[in-house]
Amino acid sequence: MKKVYITMNIPEIAEKLLKEEFEVVVNTDNKFLSKEALIQLGCEYDAILSALTNIFDEDILSKCTKTKIFANYAVGFNNFDIDYIKENSIIVTNTPGVLSDTTAETAISLLFAVSRRVVEADRFVREGKWEGFSPKLLLGKDIYNKTLGIIGAGRIGHRFAEKLRGFHMKILYHNRERDLCFEKSFNAEYCELDDLLKRSDIVTIHVPLTEKTRYMITKKEIDLMKDDAILINTSRGSVIKEEDLIEALENKKIYGAGLDVFEDEPNINSRFFELNNTVLLPHIGSASKETREMMATIAAKNIIRVLKGGEPINLVY
């Protein structure tokens, strides 16, 4: 019987589907898997259902001699050495599509939390600081009629724009290539990155992390932004040079930031904790019950197809 290893405690549906065909072992207590442990798994299991925290670099992948498919429990797959999997035709799948709405909703909740200072206001009430209605208490910033800059107009960027239709925003976008359909749907204007940063009141990032997008936003780019701009990131932490962003937030060079992802997760630079203009989430972009179940189902289905000799549905390359 073929063997499948699931590296994290994901919704049971995956195990249930896989158990109909294969022997399945789950890392139920999410114990840390070292490099050696991953190599060991790759020599023992026919398929690995991996998480974004499992780093498969060239050295590890070259030693995973038994594994036929790595089904990553995420849409992002920057935890794999992309060049190596391309060159060696290693089967890696992801979970696109099912999490686009949920991740867009997370980005939107960050946007409102920052613009209307929701988390700061909640802390204020809990700390017993509220002395009564006050006309100038915790004034925020409106979203409607403002200019929205979307960096990465893929599935998630698209859903973000779609959900904000009622806010009558001017939409700018930057993408690897122009997307005429996106332009038409949202009356959106294609911009170079610098131009988008200069003109947007809100900037939201929805690009995958690649060698091209790493540190796409550094001090130089932040300096172009309006001084009351809001930056939202639900993609990958390393798209932004975090030190530079912290400095800008400390000096109030922009209005605020909403972040679901960080450069060195789960280690958070403690300077963030002092910032009232920043909302921090623990990488919960796709974390709705419904979506996590769908992600588990897709990952399992990809494994079932490949181990039964078929083609995967969501091959990343």
| CA–CA gap between residue 170 and residue 114 (Å, rounded) | 19
| CA–CA gap between residue 151 and residue 233 (Å, rounded) | 10
Does the footprint of ligand GLV cover residue 50 (CB under 6 A)? Answer: no
Tokens 């925020």 sit at which residue?
A: 140
**Assigned token pair, 276:** 């009232």
Contact string 78-97 vs ligand GLV (x = CB under 6 A): ------------------x-
Out of 21, 247, 265, 293, which one is annotated catalytic?
A: 265
Q: Among residues 106, 213, 286, 314, which is the contact residue for ligand GLV, using CB under 6 A?
A: 286
54 in Cβ contact with 38 (< 8 Å): yes
Closest distance between ligand GLV and the C-beta of residue 263, in Å? 14
Does the footprint of ligand GLV cover residue 314 (CB under 6 A)? Answer: no
Distance in angstroms between the alpha carbons of the first and the last residue of the chain: 28
Among residues 28, 150, 94, 109, the alpha carbon closest in space to that of 302 is found at 94
**What is the b/e burial string over 172-200, where b = at least 16 CB atoms within 10 angstroms of the residue's CB?**
bbbbeeebeebeeebebebbeeeebbbbb
Which span (22-30, 116-124, 151-159, 264-272) binds ligand GLV, by CB under 6 A? 151-159
Using alpha carbons only, what angle is made at residue 234 by residues 228 and 299, rounded to the nearest 5 degrees?
Answer: 170
Residue 283 designated active-site:
yes
Q: Among residues 285, 291, 301, 312, which is the contact residue for ligand GLV, using CB under 6 A?
A: 285
Size of the site for ligand GLV (CB under 6 A): 14
Closest distance between ligand GLV and the C-beta of residue 24, in Å? 22
Does the footprint of ligand GLV cover residue 206 (CB under 6 A)? Answer: yes
Which span (70-78, 126-134, 161-169, 239-247) binds ligand GLV, by CB under 6 A? 70-78
Closest distance between ligand GLV and the C-beta of residue 161, in Å? 12
Q: Give the SS3 label for residue 256.
A: strand
> Would you name the residues annotated as active-site residues?
236, 265, 283
> Residues interacting with ligand GLV, by CB under 6 A?
52, 74-76, 96, 99-100, 154-157, 206, 285-286
